[in-house]
Amino acid sequence: MSPRKLLVFLILINLSVHPDYVSSANVNLDFPFFTFRNITLLGDSYLRNGVIGLTRELGVPSSSSGTVIYNHPVAFFDPETNITASFSTRFSFSIDNVNPSSFGDGLAFFLSPNNQTLGSPGGYLGLVNSSEFSKNRFIAIEFDTKQDLHFNDPDENHVGLDINSLISIKTANSMIRGVNLKSGNLITAWIDYENEKKKFEIFLSYSSFKPEEPLLRVSIDLSDYLKEFMYVGFSASTEGSTELHCIENWSFRTMGFRPIRPKVQPHSVSESSVPLKPPITVSGSGNRHHKRIGLGLGIGFPAFFGAVLVIFGWISVKKWKGTKSERIIKAELVTGPRQFSYKELKSATRGFHSSRILGHGAFGTVYKAFFMDLGTISAVKRSKHTHEGKTEFLSELSIIASLRHKNLVQLQGWCVEKGELLLVYDFMPNGSLDKVLYQESENNNPLKWTYRYYIAVGLASVLTYLHQECEQQVIHRDIKTSNVMLDGNYNARLGDFGLARLMDHGTSPVSTLTAGTMGYLVPEYLQYGTATEKTDVYSYGVVVLELACGRRPIEREDESQKQVNLVDWVWRKYSEGKLIEAADQRMNGEFKEEEMRRLLLIGLSCANPDSSERPSMRRVLQILNNEADPVIVPKVKPSLIFSNSLPLSIDEIVSDCEECSSPGSELEIKVY
């Protein structure tokens, strides 16, 4: 018998003699994205790219109903201790529509004793059957986008608490918190129930930060409705509508149960509780012999079991140490994104044909790829040079591949063949922010203000995630409009990690090759050659100013042809008390002045030459979401002083390059 099989056999024997355990226990579920593992899809629901769609994705009005349920029942009541659990859940969802006039009906989060909850389309929200109203039992929170007078709906944009009925116990209009359920934007919901306080609360926000005040608060005792075991899930429905309902991530936990403890047999029991066997008469010597055997087994079996564990551990460690590092890294990547063959990618891009080129980045050339067998479209990045430290690069790639955020361009797969490194990403239908903000705007089709503001919010959200919420801090080092991609709904998706660096939180910045794009490059980076999170903050500030002003980071004046720095230009307007005049003239004043001022001041504060005065990305996100006071920006731009090791100023570097750069072009620089 092999050591592995022997270990499993002994563990099974060991477990078979352990005492029973209490079944009720607190649970903690976390789905940063979804896979088919642990969930059941019912009706019209589907899974695509880690996101759950609950209703049919059609361009024509239809009736649809879908449900997703966590496979395993969750304990909500412990009959032994008579304890009812409290629970808390957080999820991000979007309700979108290809035809805004064709809205309805909404989605719901529910708890049900039934794992086959699938109701009728329309106003029934997939919770109950139209012919059997009283059949399904549930506790649900509805996010309703259509007023149905049959169920006493107050309006077409509300949140409500439902118990065994679609007539809500209490509702609240989501616009109270400035959230439009039908906006198509990603919305985060928090639902909390405290059993001891008999308090139920629902929070909503466009951001990932939980608001201080709930949208809906209900004083209610759910102990009569929470069964010993219940299933948790989501449902949605439409009727004669093109409304789409998606769930992007979800976490859920219960609280209040006591820690699991083994049921220990009592030291003494009555004769009536244990069947007694007739006594067996044995000789004294025989009895001592059995005792010696029992003692030997009692000592020998644990010792043997421990020895097997030690041998198995030694074999495993030796085998692990003997594996090559690159193979380990590749194995890690295989468990995440898919490994494509070079032949597949070459075929999907028509042999990397020039007609399939989408753009060029620091990492290489990007191609549009059609995968006929999968029926999908992706973007393939092809390295323009081979990486000498392939092992180190793959190590970093394995971490980047594990990143999950709604504002990241998601990595689908990779390929290392024929001396090339190819990365496969989600295809972004609207291309880059650079293209939309400048090229398309030149055709009298400027990007709308609402999109611009939410692009700034989305980019701040993902940078907060990279800087402060990942296991290892990620410094992007190349934030610019051409690396900000836009999906079908004009949501910002940060891409191109060709220059990204990973480091542990709290560590000192490491001196690296200075790389980036002129206009976005932080001043102290040129002097010290070190990348920190404040490097990304500066570049973000420049992008924000571009969104507000519609101007490139460095432009030539029409008359003098002198290079003009965007940060200096906006700061000059601010000093003169004419900040709003910096707004993009092509929008013809179609923007909210308060939001415009906020965005311009955030841009200046992030682009402050003094890195210590720049806010963190978390603070920026809070300011954009009106959850924190704005940073005070000095009226005069702080001066920048370089050490003698680098006598050139930014203006001097730019002026030296005027002859070699065309108007509107970006200058990529590297300084050793």
Do residues 476 and 497 touch, judged by C-beta distance below 8 A?
yes
Q: Is 478 a catalytic residue?
A: yes
At 11, which amino acid appears?
Answer: I
CA dihedral 626, 632, 638, 640 (to 10 degrees): -50
Q: Which of 155, 172, 106, 117 is nearest to 139 (CA)?
A: 117
Find all residues with CB under 8 Å of 566, minimum gap 6, and list them. 519, 542, 545, 546, 549, 551, 552, 553, 554, 555
What is the distance between the alpha carbons of residues 447 and 182, in angstroms, rounded to a whole number? 21
Report the length, in residues, of the chain.
672
What is the distance between the alpha carbons of residues 534 and 517, in angstroms, rounded to a whole number? 16
Q: Is 182 annotated as a binding residue?
A: no
Strands 338-339 and 411-417: parallel
Residue 224 class from Cβ within 10 Å (0-12 exposed, 13-18 middle, 19+ buried)? exposed
Find all residues with CB under 8 Å of 70, minimum gap 6, and list them. 29, 38, 39, 231, 232, 233, 252
Helix ranges (DSSP H) in 384-483 = 390-400, 433-434, 449-464
Catalytic hit among 96, 434, 478, 536: 478
**Tokens describing residue 316:** 């495993």
Strands 106-112 and 229-241: antiparallel
What is the distance between the alpha carbons of residues 210 and 622, in angstroms, rounded to a whole number? 11
What is the distance between the alpha carbons of residues 463 and 408, in angstroms, rounded to a whole number? 10
Find all residues with CB under 8 Å of 413, minimum gap 6, and list them. 337, 338, 339, 340, 423, 424
Biggest CA pair distance of the chain:
118
At 511, which amino acid appears?
Answer: S
**Tokens describing residue 266:** 């009592």
What is the distance between the alpha carbons of residues 389 and 565, in angstroms, rounded to a whole number? 37
**Binding site for ATP: what residues are annotated?**
381
Catalytic residue list: 478
**Binding site: what residues are annotated?**
381
